[in-house]
């Protein structure tokens, strides 16, 4: 399976839990949302599991839903989005 | 007489390769000339150094071979570029300078009045880059190793500069099609001339917002100011700070303005400003304001904008309490309905002023620049 390099970005509480802003990872080029979610919250950063149910992912600056079609490119940005609190 | 002529305003068009900067610049120059004024256009890419003067970077997958790194300032003759800009400022009524690195060149930025930074997504950029021929031609892997990482760096730099520098405006021009029409160019000009978006670490000034909203045909101005509070659940709040995912927040804010505009088409001007970093208690963390001919639309537009902001703009607030604890807040609006999937950003335009819209919005842009000059 062909894999590509991507960047995982953390914000707010997620950033605090993993203690970093950004991590480089490799994922299968055809990974879907569920696969990315599992990879991030279970395999690579299990410490995020406690907040997983309240988080979303954004791929290349677009919000994604579990049924979203995800298109990944080299250096794509996957952001872990905990509950928003702007305003 | 050149000795009495005031220096021309300088507009910088910056951003991703293949975002359409050059097309937009040419279109603006053309239209300014139709208004009977002179406009000069300066392209950064005319001041590249010769290949042998450009840094060589080993290729990741073949270290014996290398790329010429054209996506960094050291590949440019900055002095030459600066000289052309200084001359153009003396001669023309209006100057447009375009290039992907302009915002990072100190000498040039000292001369610039406003920066429009065009962002695009990788899908759009990659597709367009593949369709064009470059001199020297793109070699395999150049996009992945040099072009895109350099762009991400440029965006990050520009957005962090913008937190302290009000001259920056961001507009996302990701699109399914590759040839911007004149109509689309002026939709961009309209969007940035009527919707004012800012993510800043500086104090939010209501006076500055009011200046942007003053219009002869608007009888109503509605303003929401969100300020930080000193207590939460009986606990004393010592400090509040906000963080933002700027690369996503800017295009999302632009979309927010478009959807507010679609719902309340009589809104003439919309301001959405958010402060980030530490915000002392009692100071404004957000200002949302709208101007329209009659009050209802202005009031409802502001209400919709703050609800949407809380539901979908990637910004987070941390409260630190006197007892040493802290917590990341969660907006009700987010809990009720998490954001839907979003596609590439769209700029919507709804009202057309009398006469030709393109001249109207160009005129507006020029006026705003001239006002900046006076302030």
B144·A75 Cβ contact <8 A: yes
Asked whether the beta carbons of B315 and B225 are under 8 A apart, the reply is no
Angle value at C-alpha B127, between B122 and B133, nearest 5 degrees: 120
Task: Provide the H-helix boundaries in chain B.
Answer: 21-34, 78-91, 106-109, 122-131, 142, 148-162, 182-194, 206-213, 246-263, 295-312, 332-336, 357-374
Angle value at C-alpha B29, between B23 and B35, nearest 5 degrees: 140
pLDDT of residue B67: 81
The neighbouring-strand residues paired with B237 are: B321
Q: Which residues of B does the annotation place in the binding site? A: 294-295, 310, 317-319
Asked whether the beta carbons of B13 and B21 are under 8 A apart, the reply is yes
Residue A35 DSSP one-character state: H
Those of residues 343-372 in B touching chain A at CB distance below 8 A are: 343-344
Q: For chain B, give the percent of residues with pLDDT over 90.
A: 57
Phi, psi torsion values for B278, nearest 5 degrees? -75, 130
B194-203, pLDDT tens digit by residue?
Answer: 999 999 999 9
Residues of A with CB under 8 A from a CB of B: 9, 11-13, 15-16, 54, 56, 58, 60-65, 68, 71, 73-77, 79, 81-87
Whether pLDDT at B339 is above 80: no
| Residue in B229, B245, B247 to test binding to A, most A beta-carbons within 10 Å | B245
- In this complex, the residue of A56, A61, A86 whose CB is nearest that of residue B315 is A86
Looking at domain B10-180, its CATH architecture is 3-Layer(aba) Sandwich (3.40)
B349 vs B321, residue with greater confidence: B321
pLDDT of residue B342: 62
Tokens, residue B156: 């990050």
Whether pLDDT at A18 is above 50: yes
Q: How far is B153 from chain A (nearest CA, A)?
A: 12
Whether pLDDT at B349 is above 60: no
B314·A84 Cβ contact <8 A: yes
Domain ranges of chain A: 3-81
Range scoring the smallest mean pLDDT among B53-62, B104-113, B157-166: B53-62
H-run or E-run covering A16: helix A12-18
Residue range A43-65: average pLDDT? 94
Q: 3-state DSSP call for residue B297? A: helix
Within 10 angstroms of residue B207's Cβ, the number of other Cβ atoms is: 6
A86·B316 Cβ contact <8 A: yes
pLDDT of residue B197: 98
The pLDDT-based confidence of B354 (bands split at 50, 70, 90) is very low
Whether pLDDT at B266 is above 50: yes
- CA B112 from chain centre, in angstroms, equals 15
Q: Which residues of B does the annotation place in the binding site for substrate? A: 294-295, 310, 317-319
Whether pLDDT at B350 is above 50: no
A84·B244 Cβ contact <8 A: no
Whether pLDDT at B2 is above 70: no
List CB contacts (< 8 A) between A13 and chain B.
316, 328
Whether pLDDT at B312 is above 70: yes
Whether pLDDT at B13 is above 50: yes
A84·B251 Cβ contact <8 A: no
The pLDDT-based confidence of B1 (bands split at 50, 70, 90) is very low
Q: If you count residue pairs, one on A and one on B, with CB atoms under 8 Å apart, how many are there? A: 109
Pairing type for strands A76-81 and A3-10 reads parallel
Looking at domain B195-353, its CATH architecture is Alpha-Beta Complex (3.90)
Domain ranges of chain B: 10-180, 195-353
CA distance B189 to B167: 15
Residue range B296-309: average pLDDT? 97
Instruction: Pick the residue from chain A with its C-alpha nearest to B328.
Output: A13
Residue range B317-334: average pLDDT? 92
H-run or E-run covering A56: strand A56-59
Whether pLDDT at B341 is above 70: no
Instruction: Pick the residue from chain A with its C-alpha nearest to B286.
Output: A87
pLDDT of residue B102: 93
Residue range B25-31: average pLDDT? 91
Q: How far is B94 from chain A (nearest CA, A)?
A: 34
Q: 3-state DSSP call for residue B18? A: coil
Tokens, residue B289: 């304001």
CA distance A82 to B373: 41
Q: 3-state DSSP call for residue B274? A: strand
- In this complex, the residue of B243, B330, B341 whose CB is nearest that of residue A83 is B330
CA distance B68 to B52: 9
The pLDDT-based confidence of B240 (bands split at 50, 70, 90) is very high
ipTM value for the complex: 0.97
Whether pLDDT at B244 is above 80: yes
Instruction: Pick the residue from chain A with its C-alpha nearest to B119.
Output: A61
- Report whether CATH 3.40.50.620 matches the domain A3-81: no
The pLDDT-based confidence of B374 (bands split at 50, 70, 90) is low
CA distance B359 to B324: 57
pLDDT of residue B270: 97
Tokens 């301001």 -> residue: B271
B268-302, pLDDT tens digit by residue?
Answer: 999 999 999 999 999 999 999 999 999 999 999 99
- In this complex, the residue of A56, A73, A86 whose CB is nearest that of residue B123 is A73
């Amino acid at each position: 399976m062909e894999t590509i390099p991507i960047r995982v970005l953390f914000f707010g509480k997620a950033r605090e839990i993993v203690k970093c802003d950004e991590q480089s990872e490799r994922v299968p080029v055809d990974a879907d949302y569920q696969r990315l979610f599992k990879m991030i919250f279970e395999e690579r950063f299990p410490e995020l599991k406690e907040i997983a149910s309240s988080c979303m992912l954004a791929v290349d600056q677009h919000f994604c839903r579990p049924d979203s079609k995800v298109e990944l490119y080299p250096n794509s940005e996957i952001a872990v989005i905990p509950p928003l609190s702007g305003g | 007489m050149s000795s009495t002529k005031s220096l021309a305003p300088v507009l910088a068009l910056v951003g991703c390769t293949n975002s359409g900067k050059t097309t937009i610049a040419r279109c603006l120059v053309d239209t300014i000339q139709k208004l009977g004024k002179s406009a000069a256009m300066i392209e950064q890419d005319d001041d590249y150094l010769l290949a042998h003067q450009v840094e060589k970077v080993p290729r990741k997958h073949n270290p014996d071979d290398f790329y010429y790194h054209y996506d960094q300032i050291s590949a440019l003759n900055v002095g030459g570029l600066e000289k052309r800009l200084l001359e153009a400022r003396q001669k023309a009524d209006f100057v447009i300078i375009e290039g992907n690195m302009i915002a990072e060149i100190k000498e040039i930025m000292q001369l610039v009045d406003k920066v429009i930074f065009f962002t695009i997504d990788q899908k759009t950029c990659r597709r367009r880059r593949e369709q064009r021929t470059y001199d020297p031609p793109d070699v395999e892997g150049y996009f992945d190793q040099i072009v895109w990482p350099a762009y991400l760096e440029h965006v990050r730099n520009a957005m962090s500069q913008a937190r302290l520098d009000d001259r920056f405006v961001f507009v996302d021009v990701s699109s399914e099609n590759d040839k911007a029409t004149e109509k689309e160019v002026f939709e961009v000009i309209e969007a940035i001339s009527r919707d004012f978006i800012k993510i800043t670490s500086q104090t939010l000034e209501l006076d500055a917002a009011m200046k942007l909203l003053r219009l002869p045909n608007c009888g109503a101005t509605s303003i929401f100011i969100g300020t930080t509070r000193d207590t939460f659940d009986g606990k004393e709040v010592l400090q509040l700070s906000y963080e933002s995912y700027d690369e996503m927040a800017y295009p999302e804010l632009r979309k927010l303005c478009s959807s507010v505009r679609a719902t309340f088409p009589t809104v003439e001007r919309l301001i959405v400003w958010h402060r980030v970093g530490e915000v002392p208690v009692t100071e404004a963390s957000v200002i949302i304001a709208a101007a329209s001919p009659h009050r209802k639309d202005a009031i409802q537009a502001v209400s919709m904008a703050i609800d949407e902001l809380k539901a979908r703009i990637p910004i987070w607030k941390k409260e630190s309490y006197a007892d040493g604890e802290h917590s990341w807040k969660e907006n009700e609006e987010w809990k009720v309905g998490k954001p839907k999937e979003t596609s590439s950003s769209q700029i919507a335009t709804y009202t057309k002023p009398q006469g030709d819209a393109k001249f109207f919005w160009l005129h507006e842009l020029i006026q705003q620049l001239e006002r900046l000059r006076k302030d």
